[in-house]
Amino acid sequence: MAFLRDRISFLFRSTKGLVLVAIALIALATAFFGFLSGPMEEFGVRGFMIRNFGLQLDPAQREGRIIILYHTLAMAVVAIETFFITALVPMKKSEQVRINLTITAGYITSLVFGLWFAYFGHNYVFHGLFIAGQVLIFFAGVMLTWALWPWRKQYLTDDPQRSRTPGGVDLERVAYFVMAVATLGSVLFGAVPGSLFGNGFEAFLAEDIIRQVEKTSLELAIIGHLHIMLTLIAVALTLILSRAFDFKGRLHKIAMPLMIVGTLIITGGVWAVVPFEAIAHIIINVGSFPVLIASLLLVFYGWKQIAERRLLEQHVAQPNLGRRLRALLGDPLRFGMLWQMVYMNFVVTAVGIFMAIQLDKIIRMWPAREERIGLTGHWHVLAGIIATIILLYYADLSGLKGRARQVFGWLVIVGSDLAFGAVALLETRRLYVSEIGQQSLTDTAILLTDIGLATVLLMLGILMGWRLVDLFRKKGRWTEEFTDAQMGEFKEEVAK
């Protein structure tokens, strides 16, 4: 009994335990439902799954199933980010416990019952629980926003290395707060039309109505919601990495105001899509620029830090460029978290900007289904990059060392980047080959994508397997990590 109690206590009362549970659930859901599409469908695995697991896949409900699947996975990611935030950003212990408890109950309820409803027959009690879980997550967000309030005396800072106002308000904390408020508002932005469409079970995918000239206000709100939620998840992750790398100094002072202003403008732009659709995209682009600059400043700071620490360990006093580069690449986990942010600019931002600029001249010359591939690929890649950054960060926190750290880190980076690069190529294939000649390119891009994703999933599986085995050990790693139930130690560990 004590065996079980201790493990459950670790998994649900410590930050690393909570993150481990969420990653494991995402991994299980991804593995299971990944068998229903793409190459698994072509290999006939989908049919096997339907026959042997009692899946009920009414073709008319495909859109609804996908929406629930995306929401459940996104909720788990939001929960992971929340666990990190409550551990990294100073707040009362009682606040941290309340927030973590509420969001854990929320995302697990949402995930279990949402997927059950979507894939295993329609028990409407389960749909209600799916919604109730999301409501709990929203309340956790309200509590988090309250806990992050930056103008409390105890959170004022006089640290000259940190971005702050003359009155001592910590601008990084303001950035967290702004992100949290924007997220709550953006949740409602989707929930209100969602409740209308959802109650009538009239699910639709945004990419299917992209060329519809007249979109209703509720349809516009749904499109805005999915864009801003992914953006804010990315903003939150950037802020988490700022803490993880102990971002401070001159660059921090520039980055945090940019992050605050950018987040506000992007969010305002997306919310404006309903009344001012014609200019909303311009506002969003204007807001994206400072956020991207802030992210790149973090990358510069983090890479410099990684290289300098490595050189210090190696006792190299005056390194040349090659030596610095080798030092930087010596730690694939920490290098990779930031590299993925840079790589995103090539496979997400650049492709997105190109599509926006060339919309009428090139993209709209293609059929809608081709544009759809570009749109879905675009945000799948962004979601995938976010996932790999979290994975690398978690592996770092798990204390992977030596050769295992090298192999894990590089395989995740190269595997994911290969996959995301191939998807970017697939999205834009009509630029390079004619439709009649696209098959070879399509097959190759899909093959490389599958190889890359399989590599990442294999690494994820190995990491989860290692952690599972560890849980059965009396003096396993988990016992050391459990000590971070006192969150101060987690912060110190990260600061190291």
Binding site residues, another protein, CB under 8 A: 41-42, 58-60, 62-63, 202, 204, 208, 211, 213-214, 278, 329, 359-360, 364-369, 406-407, 410-411, 414, 418, 422, 425, 432-445, 448
Which CB, 156 or 418, lies closer to another protein? 418
Which CB, 8 or 447, lies closer to another protein? 447
Single-letter code of the amino acid located at 115: L
Residues 6+ apart with CB under 8 A from 418: 448, 449, 451, 452, 455
Which CB, 345 or 406, lies closer to another protein? 406
User: Least Å distance between CB 242 and another protein?
Assistant: 27
Which CB, 59 or 322, lies closer to another protein? 59
Which CB, 208 or 313, lies closer to another protein? 208
- Interatomic CA distance for residues 231 and 292, integer angstroms: 11
Closest alpha carbon to 353 in 290, 418, 282, 298:
282
Which CB, 418 or 464, lies closer to another protein? 418
- Interatomic CA distance for residues 412 and 135, integer angstroms: 34
User: Least Å distance between CB 401 and another protein?
Assistant: 15
User: Least Å distance between CB 108 and another protein?
Assistant: 30
User: Least Å distance between CB 443 and another protein?
Assistant: 6
User: Least Å distance between CB 253 and another protein?
Assistant: 35
Which CB, 318 or 440, lies closer to another protein? 440
- Interatomic CA distance for residues 340 and 350, integer angstroms: 14
Which CB, 389 or 412, lies closer to another protein? 412
Which CB, 208 or 492, lies closer to another protein? 208
Which CB, 1 or 213, lies closer to another protein? 213
User: Least Å distance between CB 418 and another protein?
Assistant: 6
Closest alpha carbon to 380 in 430, 426, 434, 441:
426
User: Least Å distance between CB 407 and another protein?
Assistant: 7
φ, ψ for residue 101, nearest 5 deg: -65, -45
User: Least Å distance between CB 190 and another protein?
Assistant: 19
User: Least Å distance between CB 445 and another protein?
Assistant: 7
Which CB, 47 or 488, lies closer to another protein? 47
User: Least Å distance between CB 414 and another protein?
Assistant: 5
User: Least Å distance between CB 63 and another protein?
Assistant: 7
